[in-house]
Amino acid sequence: MEPLTLSAIEDAFRASYSRKLCSEDDLPFWSTDNPSRGHCAVAALTLHDLLGGDLLLATVDRDGEHIGYHWWNRVGGVDIDLTRGQFLENETVNEPEVVKRPPGRPTFYAEQYDLMRALVGEKLGFEIQTAEVEK
């Protein structure tokens, strides 16, 4: 097995983004030109399964009004955001807070999470296990 690189991980995620994995709220904004739209939660959880670290959560505003949340990762003090490019010019991601991951399989976007994990794992050549977290 070849060493796992951030470039290989990023390529595996990008190849896995699809309308099927997009959060329902973001479907109107998803397109093949913006394939990471609506994938932040499942991408951040899957990357956490792979690399550990912290989960970050921030509010997102559009034209100054709250429209949702954005998830990404911090590993070894470095922010890794595999879906940052999804935002439109009039959308702002605010300062994040570190959030604790609940134990086990997530209850929100569970099917999308399972599929993301399977697709990314297939592209990387191994099965991705759900991270063990403290209760």
Residue 89 included in any domain:
yes
Candidates 107, 102, 114, 112; CA nearest to 38 is 112
Residue 58 domain boundaries? 6-123
Torsion of the alpha carbons at 42, 45, 46 and 48, rounded to the nearest 10: 160
Q: What pLDDT is recorded for position 102?
A: 79
What angle is formed at CA 29 by the lines to CA 57 and CA 67, rounded to 5 degrees? 40
Convert the pLDDT of each residue in 38-73 to its tens digit.
999 999 999 999 999 999 999 999 999 999 999 999
Residue 22 included in any domain:
yes
Residue 17 included in any domain:
yes
- CA 22 to chain CA centroid, nearest Å: 11
- Show the low-confidence residues of the chain (pLDDT under 50): none
Q: What pLDDT is recorded for position 108?
A: 81
Residue 86 included in any domain:
yes
pTM: 0.93
Q: What pLDDT is recorded for position 128?
A: 93
Are 87 and 40 in contact by the 8 Å Cβ rule? The answer is no
Residue 65 included in any domain:
yes
In the structure encoding, which two tokens stand for residue 49, read together? 């399964």
Residue 132 included in any domain:
no
Which element (helix H / strand E) includes 21? none
Residue 130 included in any domain:
no
Q: What is the mean pLDDT of the chain?
A: 93
The number of folded domains in the chain is 1
Contacts of 95 (CB under 8 A, 6+ apart): 58
Q: What pLDDT is recorded for position 135?
A: 60
